[in-house]
Structure 1
Amino acid sequence: MRGMVAGLANASPFLEMLPAIFQEDPFTERFVAGFDDVLAPILATLDCLVDYFDPYLAPEDFLEWMASWVGIELEEGWPIERRRAVVATAVEMYRMRGTVAGLRANLQVLTGGRVEIADSGAVGWSRSPGADMPGEASPRLAVRIRVHDPSSVPMDLVDSAVAAAKPAHVVHRVEVDRP
């Protein structure tokens, strides 16, 4: 085995950077080769550093760490594509947090399905005082998720996502079925 990582060579060997007189010396060649072996993994990582910060390209172990930067815990059983999508959309999800559109987008990323939300609330305005209030008197939220495999939906996670996104006094119901 040559080097600290089998088969990994330094893209720019240090021996080639030395003056010609040193390149011809066998001792210097062996001595500098040790630095190439030790530093090759570090230099390879630095060459690809920008890719480490892209959730779609980062190594899986780094993706877990990146998820902690945005306050997310990834489920172990999720496919890697879903875990990458959750991390990639986290900041945008925080911007839309507390809205129906934000909840829909969040649940679509979490489940991979189509999400329908029925909300009894509404927003309106009127120029005349005493106008009818928008929405319904009893606040409620109904969420329907349509996926090909309903057993793949982590219901505890979905329920906690809905509970975190809605006002505390609003009751909610979550249904999962096939399209």
Structure 2
Amino acid sequence: MSAYSARPLPLPAVYGHDTVALAFAAAIGEAMAPAEERIDGLDAVLDPWRAPPAFLDWLIRITGARVEPGWPEALRRKAVDLAPRLAAHRGTPYGLLLEAREIHGWVPPGFALVVDDPGRVFTHDDPAPRAGRMLTVTLTAPAGEDQRALESRLTRLVRAHCPAHLPFKVTVTLAHKAPDERSQQG
């Protein structure tokens, strides 16, 4: 007997006393047990939060999750978990804002991310779209953050979400300290 527990295949009552049919069903159940065991454990491999670390790179590839070199395992798992929602909103300001919030942690009150999207549906009554349309993304971060690193991360994020035909510009500004914070330090 194998290490897998074979489940006997249920047979109609007519075959309940047929020893050949019962033996055949038992053999089929024995042969199918390893496959059933693998199928039963498949959810543990496909769930990004329970998958073994060895399967994480594979999950990243099959889901199309956007990860960057050097990301810790927890962030890579979060990217895999978020991949279906991001795929549904690919190329939209919502998708960009979703990844910024969920992956990079750019959430208010510390961070403010503004996307100025020139795209919309034009009708024959509308004036022609202005030339040089450009997606502008502005991130305001708390004072003390590394502005150059934030600008690099934001550029990679926008490049991943911006449609190829649309030029973009990113701006990162650091928030000034509140007046009461300056007086306490001085």
Unaligned runs of 5+ in 2: 7-35, 177-186
TM-score normalised by length of structure 2: 0.55
Aligned residues: 140
Identity %: 22
Query: Structure 1 residues 89, 44: CA separation in 2 closer, same or farther (over 3 Å shift)?
Result: same
Deviation at 1:59, TM superposition (A): 1.4
**SS in structure 1 opposite 2:138?**
strand
Q: Deviations over 1:86-114 (max 9, x none)?
A: 01111221110111101111222331222
1:9-158 map, 5 Å: 48-72=41-65, 74-114=67-107, 116-121=113-118, 123=120, 130-132=125-127, 138-144=133-139, 146=141, 150-151=145-146, 156-158=152-154
Structure 1 residue 125: deviation in Å? 6.1
CA contact (8 A) 1:82 1:112 kept: no
Contact 1:99/1:165 (<8 A) preserved: yes
Counterpart-to-counterpart distance in 2, 1:46 and 1:145: 48
Find the aligned partners of 2:68 and 2:132 in 1 and give their Cα distance: 38
Note if contact 2:151-2:170 (Cα within 8 Å) is conserved in structure 1.
Answer: no
Q: Which runs of 5+ in 1 are unaligned?
A: 1-9, 15-42
Q: Compared with structure 1, are the counterparts of its residues 63 and 146 closer, same or farther at alpha carbon in structure 2 (3 Å cutoff)?
A: farther
Q: Which moved more, 1:98-107 or 1:65-74?
A: 65-74
Runs of 4+ in 1 over 6 A off after TM superposition: 43-46, 134-137
For 1:164, give the aligned amino acid: A
